[in-house]
């Protein structure tokens, strides 16, 4: 377990080193990036092997920081955090592999990238609300620069919109946190202390504080109707940043809801539950239907992320062990799958075809020109459709089971959402890679489209993500055995029961 | 021998073949064909081994493999084989290699065979898995290779047909999945046998929602929808004719021969045992839908001028007989011994019809495929004439399949249909009476097919039509032989399934 703080350290140290290395050569900066993310992944896996699942957060580091405010640098993990830390490790490594073609200002790129990763690790490991918020902000700022400097389509607009939405959400969160901190007597930001005090707040205050915290965090999780930053931001971002945005950063929002808002104000959760669930369902269906009619390849994937995150939020709203366990599993699963999809669209396809317009791609026999991309995209698409055998299936199944217990009607709409996901995924597979198949027996017209061959980092990155999604698809208990005991902690139980601990 | 996990081998041998083909791009064409055929024939070999060790007198699943898998969801790796599974496994073992052999000449054979073998393994898994989680993997996984087989190797309208096929089926599956999510949240298990026990003693309905709740009915409807689209039950059949017609010959053979049985199997293995009361209550309405398939399917076939679409619609008609018989039996359940003889007949008929239709429909698709290949892609009812005079061997083989499909006594198709009519007549005479309209229409369209294509003066695309070579006929011969053998000596198959259907009819809810 004590290896976990190193993930943060490796990332921030890697960021500084990458900046230095970038002044010498881009290749060196890339290597620094890969080493730093691999070191982080190794630290998480080492911690995972020594992890004993159990209820409650297990402290890994606890130092005083700002005694006047009762802020401590308190890092701790349970099965939920560990799942998301492993997700971050894998997604970050894959992201570097898919950024291997960055030549322009590579040092700065990887420095920002690693800063973002460090912030993400920090959020997942914080047991102190203030510390969590600091890391949360650290994770937001680099996104702006990554998109604005290395992005594509409409990048200034996308970057600005994303950051404004994120900061608006943060402002709500900060307001909620400070209010709760003051109301609790202003002695401590520790989650456990805040939760103990929160039970005595007037009910109206609890409802309002929960609203501020939950919706503030949910902006980043892509809750409908605050999701509009996500598709534009994902599309504008460079590939690795899209992968991280959809794969990891959106999870920060959902994690904040689960770790901060829900355990602090369980009674308020029960009151807000229907509203959250219906917004989540609206997101699942609306984003899915919008994805069905996009003509930009990357927008399809961008909207699909909003749709999939709707399942996470629905699972949280259903608030029972099955549904929340499923939601955490879905966070992991979507991190892998969204990473893969963005990697195929942004790196494997776009860097070669220089177009993302589906009608243009339809004219190219892509499945023959890029068979590797086709295979990866079909497998990722199957996973995204919730096909059994991939990680999305046990996650969505658990969410459906839990949601059915909370309300069969919600579950019915969620099932319709699965169908919509299948429809848009299949459409985009069909149009993008298999648009021109009449010539199944012709030799590939390779000279018409001189595409660069697929490189080893692309293969390695895709293999890493695919292997993870298949492994968890066939053995979801590897993660569920971490997640379920964590849901037995007093704080989580309170959230799931809808009453004080 | 007895320690080998035969059922796992059954599923995984075709998949190993598929992976080998995918990973060995430099294999010569001949080696590719050999490898694919061996992987496909493995099913038949293992099926025969199973047959020799199978004890028909025991109605519980045999050769059971059960291992803990996902503790958090109470999921087991659970395979088992009873007489129902066995005949479908045998059918797969017969149809799949024939369909693959009929596709040897398709462009990009390596990809075709890899998808085909994946599909074959998945279909076998559906017939063997006894745990929903496990079963659903195979059920859904079968769609993807089928999609690509139709999409890439299909006809001009294949893109739309394949998309429609998958979206319809997935639409049904989403509700099937939701149904099982609710069953799990009520009962805490995905095991078919445990759920069937809870369903039989009525405790499942209580767990789902208590007396007077609409939830058990809603869950039943969800599962019903998922299976009905797959079979397909009229009016959920509209995906079928374009999918079967646009698919390449080999895929059409497998789709109609094996995949269409997956839905009927689901009705027998899942819907009936788990929801006996709900099915009984819904049975009159469902019988009307099944009759819709029997009658309208046949009439629609009568109106087709495209031979492949004609055969596709006849599949709707034939499969609806199976469902009609099952619904009639479910409707009559609870009436005790008076109907059990009729119920036995109807259920035997259903099982035999599944097997027989698999053979004859696959053979018919192959024959239409030969017509298409010889004439450069024409397959209209009026594109040929007098084929019998130029290709007597081909005509004879087609004739056997056609008359088997028509239900001529002495061929296998007759036995199943006769038993179904015999059973349904005893259980719901009105339904049997209406169903004869379908029988009549079937006779009309098949005889029209026979007359216009094989008789008359040599015309249209017929001149220059070469008769089948022995190599071309090879995929057809075993099926044709079996059609005759099973027509004359149906006991061969009936003996296998008799104890099982007698037991089903005895309880009037399956064990």
CA distance B480 to chain A (A): 32
Q: Report yes or no on B485 lying in a domain.
A: yes
pLDDT band (50, 70, 90) for residue A84: very high
pLDDT band (50, 70, 90) for residue A76: confident
- Which positions in chain A touch B114 (Cβ < 8 Å)? none
Closest CA to B79 of B173, B2, B10, B16: B10
Torsion of Cα atoms, A209 then A214 then A219 then A224, to 10°: -110
pLDDT band (50, 70, 90) for residue A90: very high
The answer to whether B113 faces chain A, any CB pair under 8 Å, is no
Residue A329 has a pLDDT of 92
**Residue in B136, B144, B185 nearest the CB of A382:** B144
CA distance A476 to chain B (A): 7
pLDDT digits (tens, 9 = 90+) for B413-442: 888 888 888 888 888 888 888 888 888 888
Q: What percentage of residues in chain B have a pLDDT greater than 90?
A: 4
Q: Are A417 and A288 in contact (CB under 8 A)?
A: yes
- How far apart, in whole angstroms, are the C-alpha atoms of residue A341 and residue A75? 32
A vs B, Cβ pairs < 8 A, gives 96
CA distance B262 to chain A (A): 17
Has residue A74 got a pLDDT over 90? Answer: no
Q: What percentage of residues in chain A have a pLDDT greater than 70?
A: 96
Closest CA to B418 of B506, B503, B353, B340: B353
Do A476 and B166 lie within an 8 Å CB cutoff? Answer: no
Do A404 and B181 lie within an 8 Å CB cutoff? Answer: yes
Q: Report yes or no on B376 lying in a domain.
A: yes
Cβ neighbors of A248 (< 8 A, separation 6 or more) are A87, A88, A91, A92, A120, A335
Has residue A444 got a pLDDT over 60? Answer: no
Do A418 and B166 lie within an 8 Å CB cutoff? Answer: no
Cβ neighbors of A402 (< 8 A, separation 6 or more) are A315, A318, A320, A321, A322, A323, A324, A325, A326, B185
Has residue A245 got a pLDDT over 90? Answer: no
Output A446-451 pairs: Cβ under 8 A, ≥24 positions apart.
Answer: A446/A369, A449/A353, A449/A364, A449/A369, A451/A352, A451/A353, A451/A369, A451/A370
Has residue B352 got a pLDDT over 70? Answer: yes
Residue A330 has a pLDDT of 92
CA distance B110 to chain A (A): 12
**Residue in B70, B166, B181 nearest the CB of A411:** B181
Which residue in A has a C-alpha nearest to residue B108's C-alpha? A441
Question: Can the peptide bond before residue A225 be classed as cis, meaning omega within 30 degrees of 0?
Answer: yes
pLDDT band (50, 70, 90) for residue A441: very low
Q: Summarize the confidence of residues A316-339 as an average pLDDT.
A: 90
Interface of B with A in 204-243 (CB under 8 A): 215, 218, 222
pLDDT band (50, 70, 90) for residue B511: very low
pLDDT band (50, 70, 90) for residue B92: very high
Residue A278 has a pLDDT of 93
The answer to whether B19 faces chain A, any CB pair under 8 Å, is no
CA distance B124 to chain A (A): 16
Which residue in B has a C-alpha nearest to residue A415's C-alpha? B174
Which residue in A has a C-alpha nearest to residue B134's C-alpha? A388
Residue A282 has a pLDDT of 92
- How far apart, in whole angstroms, are the C-alpha atoms of residue A489 and residue A79? 11
pLDDT band (50, 70, 90) for residue A356: confident
- Which positions in chain B touch A394 (Cβ < 8 Å)? 70, 73
- Which positions in chain A touch B185 (Cβ < 8 Å)? 322, 401-402, 404-405
Domain that holds residue B396: 277-511
The answer to whether B25 faces chain A, any CB pair under 8 Å, is no
Specify the length of chain B in residues: 511
Q: Summarize the confidence of residues A484-494 as an average pLDDT.
A: 83
Cβ neighbors of A354 (< 8 A, separation 6 or more) are none
CA distance A382 to chain B (A): 8
Do A411 and B178 lie within an 8 Å CB cutoff? Answer: yes
- Which positions in chain A touch B71 (Cβ < 8 Å)? 477, 481
The answer to whether B68 faces chain A, any CB pair under 8 Å, is no
**Residue in B136, B152, B153 nearest the CB of A388:** B136
Q: Report yes or no on B97 lying in a domain.
A: no
Residue B507 has a pLDDT of 67
| Residue A4 tokens, joined | 């976990």
Residue B1 has a pLDDT of 42
Q: Report yes or no on B496 lying in a domain.
A: yes
The answer to whether B70 faces chain A, any CB pair under 8 Å, is yes
pLDDT band (50, 70, 90) for residue A439: very low
Q: Summarize the confidence of residues B24-35 as an average pLDDT.
A: 83
Cβ neighbors of A39 (< 8 A, separation 6 or more) are A6, A10, A14
Residue A447 has a pLDDT of 57
Q: What percentage of residues in chain B have a pLDDT greater than 70?
A: 97
- Which positions in chain B touch A392 (Cβ < 8 Å)? none
Q: Which of A70-79, B140-149, B459-468 has the lowest mean pLDDT?
A: B459-468
CA distance B192 to chain A (A): 17
Domain count, chain A: 1
Has residue A118 got a pLDDT over 80? Answer: yes
- Which positions in chain B touch A476 (Cβ < 8 Å)? 70, 72-73
The answer to whether B152 faces chain A, any CB pair under 8 Å, is yes
Do B152 and A427 lie within an 8 Å CB cutoff? Answer: no
Do B140 and A387 lie within an 8 Å CB cutoff? Answer: yes
- Which positions in chain B touch A404 (Cβ < 8 Å)? 178, 181-182, 185
Has residue A442 got a pLDDT over 60? Answer: no
**Residue in A404, A415, A418 nearest the CB of B185:** A404
Q: Are B287 and B348 in contact (CB under 8 A)?
A: no
pLDDT digits (tens, 9 = 90+) for A279-325: 999 999 999 899 888 888 888 888 999 999 999 999 999 888 888 99
Q: Summarize the confidence of residues A348-372 as an average pLDDT.
A: 79
The answer to whether B140 faces chain A, any CB pair under 8 Å, is yes
Do A477 and B73 lie within an 8 Å CB cutoff? Answer: yes
| Residue B486 tokens, joined | 């099973």
Best of B112, B151, B177, B216 to substitute, by most chain A Cβ atoms within 10 angstroms, is B177
Residue A501 has a pLDDT of 42
Tell me the pTM.
Answer: 0.87
Do B185 and A405 lie within an 8 Å CB cutoff? Answer: yes
Q: Which of A137-151, A352-366, B169-183 has the lowest mean pLDDT?
A: A352-366
- Which positions in chain A touch B153 (Cβ < 8 Å)? 440
- Average of per-residue pLDDT values in chain A: 85
CA distance A393 to chain B (A): 9
pLDDT digits (tens, 9 = 90+) for B126-169: 999 888 888 988 998 888 899 888 888 877 888 888 888 888 88
3-state secondary structure B391-454: CHHHHHHHHHHHHHHHCCCCCHHHHHHHHHHHHHHHHCHHHHHHHHHHHHHHHHHHHHHHHHHH
CA distance B122 to chain A (A): 12
- Which positions in chain B touch A426 (Cβ < 8 Å)? 147, 163, 166-167
Neighbours of B459 (CB within 10 A): 14
Closest CA to A334 of A398, A390, A253: A390
Domain that holds residue A277: 4-437+450-497
Residue B508 has a pLDDT of 59
CA distance A258 to chain B (A): 21
Q: Report yes or no on A486 lying in a domain.
A: yes
- The interface predicted TM-score (ipTM) is 0.82
Best of B174, B175, B186 to substitute, by most chain A Cβ atoms within 10 angstroms, is B174
Has residue A153 got a pLDDT over 80? Answer: no
CA distance B214 to chain A (A): 11
Q: Chain A residues within 8 A (CB-CB) of chain B?
A: 322, 325, 378, 382, 385, 387-389, 394, 397-398, 400-405, 408, 411-412, 414-416, 418-419, 422-423, 426-427, 430, 434, 437, 440-441, 475-477, 480-481, 484
Domain count, chain B: 1
Q: Summarize the confidence of residues A387-405 as an average pLDDT.
A: 88
Neighbours of B167 (CB within 10 A): 18
Q: Are B475 and B249 in contact (CB under 8 A)?
A: no
Q: What are phi and psi of B107, to 5 degrees?
A: -65, 145
Has residue A375 got a pLDDT over 80? Answer: yes
- How far apart, in whole angstroms, are the C-alpha atoms of residue A359 and residue A294? 11
- How far apart, in whole angstroms, are the C-alpha atoms of residue B455 and residue B458? 8
Report helix, strand or coil for A210: helix
Which residue in B has a C-alpha nearest to residue A418's C-alpha? B174
Torsion of Cα atoms, A238 then A241 then A246 then A249, to 10°: -150
């Amino acid at each position: 377990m004590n290896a976990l703080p190193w993930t943060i350290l490796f990332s921030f140290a890697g960021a500084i080193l990458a900046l230095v290395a970038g002044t010498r050569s881009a290749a060196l900066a890339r290597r620094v990036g890969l080493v730093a993310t691999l070191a982080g992944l190794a630290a998480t896996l080492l911690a995972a092997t020594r992890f004993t699942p159990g209820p409650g957060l297990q402290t890994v580091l606890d130092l005083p920081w700002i005694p006047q405010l009762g802020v401590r640098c308190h890092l701790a993990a349970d099965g939920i955090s560990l799942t998301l830390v492993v997700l971050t490790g894998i997604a970050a490594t894959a992201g570097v592999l898919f950024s291997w073609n960055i030549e322009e200002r590579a040092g700065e790129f990887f420095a920002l990238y690693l800063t973002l990763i460090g912030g993400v690790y920090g959020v997942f490991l914080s047991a102190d609300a203030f510390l969590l918020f600091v890391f949360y902000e650290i994770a937001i700022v680099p996104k702006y620069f990554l998109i604005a400097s290395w992005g594509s389509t409409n990048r200034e607009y996308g970057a600005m919109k994303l950051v404004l939405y994120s900061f608006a959400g943060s402002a709500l969160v900060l307001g909620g946190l400070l209010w709760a901190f003051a109301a609790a007597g202003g002695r401590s930001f520790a989650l456990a202390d805040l939760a103990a005090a929160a039970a005595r707040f007037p009910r109206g205050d609890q409802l309002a504080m929960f609203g501020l915290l939950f919706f503030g965090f949910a902006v980043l999780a892509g809750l409908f109707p605050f999701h509009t930053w996500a598709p534009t931001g994902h599309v504008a971002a460079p590939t690795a940043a899209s992968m991280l945005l959809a794969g990891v950063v959106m999870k920060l929002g959902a994690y904040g809801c689960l770790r901060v808002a829900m355990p602090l104000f369980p009674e308020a959760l029960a009151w807000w539950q229907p509203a959250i669930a219906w917004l989540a369902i609206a997101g699942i269906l609306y984003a899915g239907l919008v994805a069905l009619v996009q003509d930009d390849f990357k927008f399809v994937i961008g909207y699909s992320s909003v749709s999939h995150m709707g399942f996470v939020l629905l699972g949280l709203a259903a608030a029972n062990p099955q549904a929340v366990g499923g939601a955490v599993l879905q966070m992991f699963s979507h991190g892998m799958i969204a990473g893969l999809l963005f990697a195929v669209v942004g790196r494997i396809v776009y860097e070669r075809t220089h177009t993302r317009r589906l009608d243009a791609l339809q004219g190219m026999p892509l499945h023959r020109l890029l068979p590797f991309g086709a295979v990866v995209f079909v497998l990722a698409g199957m996973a995204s459709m919730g096909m059994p055998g991939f990680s999305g299936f046990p996650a969505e199944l658990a969410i459906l089971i839990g949601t059915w217990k909370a309300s069969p009607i919600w579950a019915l709409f969620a099932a319709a959402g699965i169908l919509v996901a299948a429809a848009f995924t299949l459409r985009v597979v069909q149009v993008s890679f298999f648009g021109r198949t009449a010539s199944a027996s012709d030799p590939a017209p390779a000279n018409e489209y001189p595409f660069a061959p697929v490189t080893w980092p692309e293969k390695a990155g895709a293999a890493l993500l695919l292997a993870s999604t298949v492994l968890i698809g066939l053995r979801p208990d590897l993660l569920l055995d971490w997640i379920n005991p964590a849901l037995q902690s007093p704080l989580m139980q309170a959230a799931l029961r809808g009453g004080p601990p | 021998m007895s320690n080998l996990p035969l059922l796992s081998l059954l599923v995984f041998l075709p998949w190993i073949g598929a992976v080998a083909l995918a990973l060995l791009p430099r294999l010569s064409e001949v080696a590719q064909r050999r490898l694919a055929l061996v992987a496909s024939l493995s099913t038949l070999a293992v099926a025969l081994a199973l047959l020799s060790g199978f004890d028909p007198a025991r109605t519980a699943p045999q050769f059971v493999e059960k291992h803990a898998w996902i503790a958090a969801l109470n999921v087991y790796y659970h395979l088992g084989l009873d007489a129902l599974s066995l005949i479908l496994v045998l059918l797969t073992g017969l149809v799949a290699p024939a369909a693959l052999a009929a596709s040897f000449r398709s462009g990009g054979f390596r990809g075709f065979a890899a998808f085909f073998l994946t599909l074959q393994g998945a279909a076998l898994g559906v017939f063997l898995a006894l745990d929903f989680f496990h079963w659903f993997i195979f059920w859904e996984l079968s769609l993807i290779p089928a999609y690509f087989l139709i999409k890439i190797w299909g006809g001009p309208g294949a893109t739309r047909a394949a998309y429609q096929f998958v979206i319809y089926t997935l639409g049904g599956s989403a509700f099937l999945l939701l149904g099982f999510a609710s069953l799990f949240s009520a009962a805490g298990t995905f095991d078919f046998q445990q759920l069937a026990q809870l369903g039989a003693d009525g405790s499942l309905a209580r767990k789902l929602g208590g007396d007077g709740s609409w939830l058990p009915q809603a869950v039943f409807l969800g599962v019903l929808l998922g299976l009905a689209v797959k079979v397909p039950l009229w009016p959920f059949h509209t995906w079928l004719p374009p999918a079967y017609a646009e698919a390449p010959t080999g895929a059409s053979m497998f789709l109609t021969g094996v995949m269409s049985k997956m839905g009927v199997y689901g009705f027998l293995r899942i819907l009936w045992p788990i929801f006996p009361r709900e099915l009984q209550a819904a049975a009159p309405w469902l019988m009307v839908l099944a009759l819709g398939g029997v009658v309208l399917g046949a009439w629609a076939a009568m109106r087709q001028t495209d031979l492949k679409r004609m055969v596709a619609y006849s599949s709707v008609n034939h499969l609806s007989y199976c469902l009609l018989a099952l619904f009639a039996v479910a409707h009559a359940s609870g009436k005790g011994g008076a109907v059990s003889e009729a119920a036995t007949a109807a259920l035997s008929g259903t099982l035999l019809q599944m097997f027989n239709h698999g053979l004859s429909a696959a053979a018919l698709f192959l024959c239409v495929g030969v017509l298409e290949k010889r004439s450069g892609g024409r397959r209209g009812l009026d594109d040929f004439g007098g084929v019998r005079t130029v290709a007597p061997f081909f005509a004879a083989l087609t004739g056997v399949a056609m008359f088997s499909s028509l239900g001529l006594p002495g061929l296998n198709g007759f036995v199943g249909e006769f038993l179904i009519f015999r059973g349904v007549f005893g259980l719901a005479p009105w339904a049997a009476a209406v169903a004869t309209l379908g029988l009549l229409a079937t006779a009309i369209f098949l005889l029209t097919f026979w007359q216009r294509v094989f008789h008359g003066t040599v015309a249209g695309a017929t001149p220059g039509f070469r008769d089948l070579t022995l190599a071309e006929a090879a995929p057809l011969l075993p099926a044709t032989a079996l059609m005759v053998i099973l027509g004359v000596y149906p006991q061969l198959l009936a003996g296998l399934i008799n104890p099982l259907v007698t037991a089903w009819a005895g309880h009037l809810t399956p064990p």
